[in-house]
Chains A and B, each alone.
Chain A
Amino acid sequence: MNILVCISHVPDTTTKVKFSENNTKLDTAGIQWVINPWDELSLTRALELKDDAASGVKKVSVAHVGLANTEPTIRKALAIGADDAYRVNAEAFDAHQVAAELAEVIKAGSFDIILCGIESSDYNGSNVGGMLAEFLGYPSVSGISHLGIEQEKVVITREIDGGKQQLTLPVPFVGIVQKGIAKEPRIAAMRGIMQARTKPIHVSEPKAADAQTSVLNFEPPEPRADCKFIDPENPKELITLLQNEAKVI
């Protein structure tokens, strides 16, 4: 069984985002780029399954849509332990374009389980996984908080509103993964970093899918009013304010 983890290249989650060109572009100066946190957890789980011989997982690959400047992020995934990587050489402007390009990689390869993070921490769309499944005509399961393979069957826990469901399904499918799938993201060891240098990154040219959306501009969110401090010797005042001023309780 082969697993493909789709990875997004995003600003480090502690980045203070700034915009340039009249607030139409993300100002990338000084940004530290990382693997999207949920994709990193998916990759970690995929590698845990591969480490367990009983799972039957033979190979873990990663795929990414981006220009050559995103390769350090791909190398990081290889250093963590992915066997090889696929990069579609395109600057993607929306989820539609990313999913259309990833679908081409998958159609040309041989993958049983395709994993995507629930959302990317930059545009927070939550769309690539579902779109990819639809392009491929595969079933998809979202909100996965556990993924296992027992006797060649995929066993999944999916989070539903107010609870969870245990389910099984055949491969191939697209799994959209959230918190819980792995405890901590796996960290690259020195040996992995050395090995990553020689692992293959298969680069392909885009099939030129069009973006369906465009960002016209960015703006910072509306500032909140200054914090009103309440005397710690009289905390009951808070409840009075919530009742009479904010009128929320």
Chain B
Amino acid sequence: MSVIVYTENWDGLFKKQTFEIATYASKLAEMLNTDSIAISIGNVAEEELGKLGNHGIKQIISVTDDKLKHFDGQLYTKVIADIAVKESAEVLVLANNNCGKALAPRLSVRLQAAIASAVHELPESVNPFKIKKRVFSGNAVSLNELKTKTKILTLAQNSIDIEEMPEAAAIETYTPDLGDLVSAIEVQETEKQTGKVLLTDAEIVVSGGRGMKSPDNWAPLLELAELLDGATACSRPVSDEGWRPHEEHTGQTGKIVAPNVYFAIGISGATQHLAGVSSSKYIIAINNDKDAPIFEAAQYGIVGDAAKILPQLVEAVKELKSS
């Protein structure tokens, strides 16, 4: 028996979310009286793999194969499912990101394993297996029972604290049995943002809405984000108007984010916007309408004009950094 965690890498490196799922898998393994095993696909140096051992991982299975160079749901599913069977996985844990969301349902069918996606805490009980998840876009939580022998969980980002649980993790290489399987997908081009904090990774997000009045008013917002090592975001009307790129749209139909701090500046807080940001630890609202629904979701608020308040916040952060 085991708990298996699939650890994705970005150009050979892990991210904070990797250590979150490693911590989660190790704590779950404790609940099940078993060990946590990590699977890594692609070229990751031993030193980087070894970091997983700091978070309770007992064994690391490293898979490299040219056919696995680009992410392909079918091929990756085959590799992970084969290892899960070999290691008698009782639970598989993945991140609730693009890759995790693509793999978990395929693995669920392949392994006849029930799935709970975007969970944000450990199971309430493991026998029967009961776990909570957010539903109705953050407007409710459901307690679910997973009734199959094998289970699959995807963990929402930034929902648990990373813990140090040092283990001397053994690294094992694994040669996948892909037979004549080849990827049907031909990747023509990959564009990557560089030099910017990714919205989905950011601890602090500074987001602007229609209350910013014009795309020309964004400079202090961008400056505040940069000073705080944060990412910038926007509401749907702002991206629809073309004031900011679509990649920045947070909300139900845009990106779902859960940073430590979410600044909602000139955003009224429509249900659809809150659906994408309500899991943030702190929401800070700045809006000139004191009745805006965003203040019901926020912990700190300022009723006032963003154009006047933003430069003062920038100044305050600068003072803080120089003190």
Residue among B108, B133, B271 facing the most chain A CB atoms (10 A cut-off): B108
Digitize A211-249: 1 where CB-to-B-CB distance is under 8 Å, 0 elsewhere. 011111111110011011111100110111111001011
The size class of the interface chain B forms with chain A is: 35 or more
Residues of A within 8 A of B139 (CB): 16-17, 220-221
Is A167 a contact partner of B188 (Cβ separation < 8 A)? yes
- The stretch that binds B, out of A46-54, A78-86, A105-113, A127-135, is A127-135
Q: Could you say which of B98, B145, B272 contacts A216, with CB atoms under 8 Å apart? A: B145
A sample of 9 cross-chain residue pairs with beta-carbon separation below 8 angstroms, ordered by A number, consists of A15-B136, A96-B109, A124-B118, A130-B105, A161-B198, A165-B188, A170-B184, A221-B139, A230-B301
Hey, which chain A residues are within 8 Å of B109, CB to CB? Answer: 96, 99, 131, 134-135
Q: How far is the CB of A230 from chain B (nearest CB, A)?
A: 5
Residues 247-276 of B at the A interface (beta carbon under 8 Å): 249, 252-254, 260-261, 270-272, 275
Interface size class of A (residues with CB under 8 A): 35 or more
Contact (A232, B144) CB under 8 Å given A13-B271, A130-B102, A140-B106: no
Chain B residues lying within 8 Å of A33, measured Cβ to Cβ, are none
Segment touching B, from A172-180, A190-198, A199-207 = A172-180
**Given contacts A95-B105, A246-B282, A239 and B313 within 8 Å (CB-CB):** yes
Residues of B contacting A230 in the complex (Cβ-Cβ under 8 angstroms): 300-302
A224, B252: Cβ atoms closer than 8 Å = no
Identity of the chain A residue whose Cβ is nearest the Cβ of B135 in the assembled complex: A123
Q: CB within 8 A of B73: which of A140, A231, A243?
A: A140
A39 to B142, CA, bound (A): 23
Q: Which residues of A contact B (CB under 8 A)?
A: 11, 13-17, 19, 37-38, 41, 94-96, 99, 118, 121-131, 133-135, 139-143, 159-170, 173, 176, 179-180, 212-221, 224-225, 227-232, 235-236, 238-243, 246, 248-249
Given A167-B187, A239-B313, 20 additional A-B pairs, CB 8 A: A13-B137, A99-B109, A126-B117, A126-B118, A130-B101, A142-B102, A143-B98, A160-B192, A162-B201, A163-B192, A212-B113, A212-B115, A216-B143, A218-B140, A220-B140, A221-B139, A235-B309, A238-B300, A239-B317, A246-B300
CB < 8 Å: which of B73, B101, B187, B316 contacts A126?
B101
Which chain B positions have C-beta within 8 A of A231? 302
List residues of B whose CB falls within 8 A of some A CB: 10, 71-74, 77, 96-99, 101-106, 108-110, 112-118, 130, 133-148, 183-193, 198, 200-201, 204, 228, 246, 249, 252-254, 260-261, 270-272, 275, 278, 281-285, 295-305, 308-309, 312-313, 315-317, 319-320
